[in-house]
Chains A and B, each alone.
Chain A
Amino acid sequence: MSTPSTGAAGTNPARPSAGAEPAEASAPRSKLGEYIFAGLALALGIFVFVGAFAIRLPTSGTQVGPRVFPFMVGTILVISAAMVIIDIARGKLGDLEEGEDVDTHAKTDWITLAKIVAFVVAFIALLEIIGWPFAAAILFGGVAWSLGAKRWWVALLVGLALGFVVYIVFGGLLGLSLPPGPLLTWLDPLLQTLRG
């Protein structure tokens, strides 16, 4: 509250008016993605509502069948998604979620996103073939590299160490049976003895 300008802002701040102006001035964004997401929510609502008709009603005449709640959920989704679409059309876009590590002015980095999703998919494919420690190493190293870790081999080694520590601590002490993979089948009897 030091400068006169902020004093004025404190006593006479403009209310966020009914719409009409774009909420984000500094980072212009296309409305298309917003429309698509809200549209999908609307479609989900219609799907829930229509899908409720496919639910069989039990023959014994209970008053409230298994359809009632789905109808309500569908209605909530349709109405609120439709209102969001109206909001967007009026120019009231959603606020970007804020966070310590998030630069709200940055452009969306689709390449990094694709890399991370690809590494998770690779993890899903590889987990039961090469075992938890190695799959975890690839996931950790890959994601750290995608996010800009300077030396990829350090990331991979850290990932490998983390994979083994988790495997031994959770697999050995807490009894979670993580897949060992063909290279580490000899480790399991050791863990068995460790658990006692």
Chain B
Amino acid sequence: MDNILSLLEGFATALQPQYLIFGFIGVLVGTAVGVLPGIGPAMTVALLLPLTYTLDPTAALITFAGIYYGGMYGGSTTSILLNTPGESASIVTALEGNKMAKLGRGAAALATAAIGSFVAGTIATLGLTMLAPVIAAWAVNLAPADYVALMVVAFITVGALLGSSVWRGLTSLGIGLFLGLVGTEILSGQQRYTFGLLPLADGIDVVLVAVGLFAVGETLYVASRMRHGPVALVPVTRGWRSWMTKDDWRRSWKPWLRGTAIGFPIGTIPAGGADVATFLSYASEKKLSKHKDQFGRGAIEGVAGPEAANNAAAAGVLVPLLTLGLPTTATAAIILSAFQSYGIQPGPQLFTNQPALVWALIASLYIGNVMLLILNLPLVGIWVKLLQIPRPYLYAGILTFAVLGAYAVNFAVADIIILLCVGVLGYFLRRYGYPIAPLVIGLILGPMAEAQLRRALQLSQGDLTALFLSPFAAVCYIALILIIALGLWLRRRQSRLERTLAAAAAADTSLSAAVNQAWDPGSRPTDVKTSDIRVLPPAEQPSKRKNPKK
């Protein structure tokens, strides 16, 4: 009952005209950056951080929440309408949605994605409303050792489960932890790893790292291997009356609900974020569908389910962020540092110390979802226009805003130099397949983990076993092992599925291309091994056209 009352008060705050405007700006900017390739919500929130220091925290956080949700909506538009493959997280939507668009059913694909996102976002926000206060009330009793355990879980799952290789993820995490070490140590007041350089004495600002990695790094990476030629968009037929037929509704509503049920829990636990949820939803829809033959050729369930799962996971991520102060994605980590820049620490005390702020934030999520539905359904034409911005101008603009954001942190040119260095690092991380998110999380969570670790060991008088003996911490470490085993298994299945999907796409052009996609070189059924050739008797050698039998 208390919660409902608090939520109503939150609505009373969030519905004030100025907060409505900030919420609207947030979802507008969020959708725009979601639609535009090359920039995402993490970078946008980081970029806006220094520019919003003059706002009051509620307004700024409502804006950031709008960007976070908006980015999720916008991404689906891109993958449905843009005729080039995007990142692997959206590959399932891209495949089914893009195929639907090519069949002239783009409007239905966009509609089922938008309505599914709305349904999932609303239900998941409801879940957040119910769950968050309960978890926060329970988490008040957590000891420093328990927080250490939680952070270890977050580090390892994010590091090991994001990206293509466990060790590359952990390397990225290590670099982030190192960047977090740079600066003045709190307790003894001495500088660590600053090389005596004054700009490094206060540590490397999160804004510089995030904007450098995401904006500058991405621009450099795209510049190094840009897809030239005109932007290939699938045209969407006009006539919004026929968004979704009765049949489309009938086939969509169950995947929406199932996607929500899959996405929200996965979002709340640190298990690799929305990618896993999207993939699981796609796999289950494919298994349950009556139209299995349509999968890979534009099945509406393959858009509805994963898009819902994606958005539900995004809301789920907010549960550990708000109640434990534990970010599990790069965007959540940036939002955490946004809280900190206003002197607010997310965690169990947030609901008791800042009830007005946190409930206004949650209320704004409901409002933002409604706004997004309105923005996305009838206004999709505007977003399509945005997709057609010539790429040289788009990336030049991203870079210009990046240096603006970096300069605005301290109004120091030295910060732009740091930005450029981090950007070059970001370029090489992308080039050599190191995931970016573990670095961001390491940077933001690292100093907090160090503080909790030292506090825990202070309490136990240096006894290391205390870190593992508290019941909650022990549960965490056992769960960690389970999550990693499950996560690695899921990822193997995911990469298998992605290969199959890519093979299906390649099969449109040629059979051998499909074979190349589905198997690694060396294990293809069409491969001829040199050892096989050697065992042939010399008499048969001249007949080159025959395949080796054994």
Contacts and interface: CB of A to CB of B under 8 A. Distances in A.
Most B CB atoms within 10 A — which of A1, A112, A117, A123? A1
B199 interface: no
A69 interface: yes
Nearest to B428: A37
Nearest to B38: A101
B157 interface: no
B38 A99 contact: yes
Given A17-B523, A155-B393, A98 B226 contact: no
A193 interface: no
Contacts of B424: 117
B220 A6 contact: no
Given A41-B171, A149-B390, A1 B504 contact: yes
Main secondary structure of the interface of B (DSSP, over half): helix
Interface string A62-84: 11111011100100110111011
A97 B433 CA distance: 6
B407 A127 contact: yes
B188 A100 contact: no
Contacts of A8: 525
A109 B223 contact: yes
A168 interface: no
A140 B224 contact: no
A58 B188 contact: yes
Interface string A105-146: 011111011001100110110011000000010011101111
A183 interface: no
Interface string A22-49: 1101100000011001100100110010
B433 A94 contact: yes
Contact of B223 (A96, A112, A175): A112
A162 interface: yes
A84 B165 contact: yes
Contacts of A149: 390, 392-393, 396
Interface in B371-400: 390-393, 395-397, 399-400
Contacts of A96: 430-431, 433
Contact of A159 (B51, B187, B396, B461): B396
B224 A110 contact: yes
B493 to A, nearest CB: 10
B175 A41 contact: yes
Contacts of B222: 99, 101-102
A123 B292 contact: no
Contacts of A191: none
A94 B295 CA distance: 30
B400 A66 contact: no
Interface residues of A, number: 100
A101 B399 contact: no
Contact of A37 (B54, B390, B432): B432
A66 B187 contact: yes
B226 A22 contact: no
B417 A13 contact: no
A102 B500 contact: no
Given A9-B503, A106-B225, A136-B400, A97 B430 contact: yes
Nearest to A78: B174
Most B CB atoms within 10 A — which of A3, A76, A83, A140? A76
B518 interface: yes
Contact of B165 (A66, A92, A102): A92
Contacts of B400: 136, 139-140, 143, 159, 162-163, 166
Contacts of A103: 225-228
Contact of A33 (B411, B432, B504, B523): B432
Interface stretch (B83-91, B134-142, B337-345): B83-91
Interface stretch (B266-274, B305-313, B353-361, B509-517): B509-517
A155 B523 CA distance: 50
Contact of A87 (B167, B413, B416, B511): B167
A192 B535 CA distance: 87
Contacts of A148: 226, 228, 392
B223 A66 contact: no
Interface string B276-295: 00000000000000001101
A2 B504 contact: yes
A58 B188 CA distance: 6
A184 interface: no
B223 A116 contact: yes
26 contacts: A1-B293, A2-B504, A5-B511, A5-B518, A6-B507, A9-B515, A13-B500, A21-B522, A41-B171, A45-B174, A63-B458, A64-B457, A68-B454, A81-B174, A96-B431, A96-B433, A97-B221, A100-B227, A101-B38, A104-B225, A112-B226, A116-B220, A120-B416, A127-B407, A149-B392, A170-B51
Given A13-B500, A97-B221, 7 more contacts: A2-B507, A6-B507, A55-B192, A57-B188, A109-B223, A112-B223, A147-B392
Interface of B: 37-38, 51, 54, 78, 82, 84-88, 164-165, 167-168, 170-171, 173-175, 177-178, 181, 185, 187-188, 190, 192-193, 216, 218-228, 292-293, 295-297, 390-393, 395-397, 399-400, 403-404, 407-408, 411, 413, 416-417, 420, 423-424, 427-428, 430-434, 446, 449-450, 453-454, 457-458, 461-462, 492, 495-496, 499-500, 503-504, 507, 511, 514-525
